[in-house]
Amino acid sequence: DAGVTQSPTHLIKTRGQQVTLRCSPISGHKSVSWYQQVLGQGPQFIFQYYEKEERGRGNFPDRFSARQFPNYSSELNVNALLLGDSALYLCASRPRRLAGGPYNEQFFGPGTRLTVL
């Protein structure tokens, strides 16, 4: 089975530009989360989507937005890029947890390395 896939692998942008990152979850997974991992730090939660609805947002400015499509794939958009947006952007998916069912872990993709010059 294919794991979580992300595109592109690497991306170079200049300050002020806009970027769109894409994520395809594992088949059957309806929840997608986005994390930002700055070099030398742990991932920071940006967004979570479930069934096309936003279920959580981390402490990030409004320049960051996301959406989830009917096929459960997701896009992360970042406007007006800043140098500090340079990071590895990770996408993770998890299956729906049934009431009273076992805990479901999240599965990470390989990430998109964004460099802002």
Give the binding site for other proteins (CB under 8 A).
31-33, 35, 40-45, 48, 50, 55-56, 58, 88, 90, 92, 94, 97, 103-106, 108-111
Q: Closest CB to other proteins among 62 and 99?
A: 99
Q: Closest separation between CB of residue 32 and other proteins, Å?
A: 8
The answer to whether 72 and 30 have CB atoms below 8 angstroms apart is yes
How is 45-108 classified by DSSP, letter by letter? EEEEEETTEEEEE-S--TTEEEEE-TTS-EEEEE-S--GGG-EEEEEEEEPPPPTT------EE
Q: Which is nearer to other proteins, 79 or 107 (CB)?
A: 107
Minimum distance between the CB of residue 40 and other proteins, rounded to whole angstroms?
A: 7
Cβ proximity to other proteins: between 45 and 79 the closer is 45
For residue 101, the minimal CB distance to other proteins (Å) is: 11
CB of 80 to other proteins, least distance (A): 25
Q: State the amino acid at position 100 in one-letter form.
A: G
Between 81 and 109, name the residue whose CB sits nearer to other proteins.
109
> What's the length of the chain?
117
Question: Chain-centre distance of CA 70, in angstroms?
Answer: 16
Q: How many alpha carbons fall within 13 Å on the CB side of residue 77?
A: 9
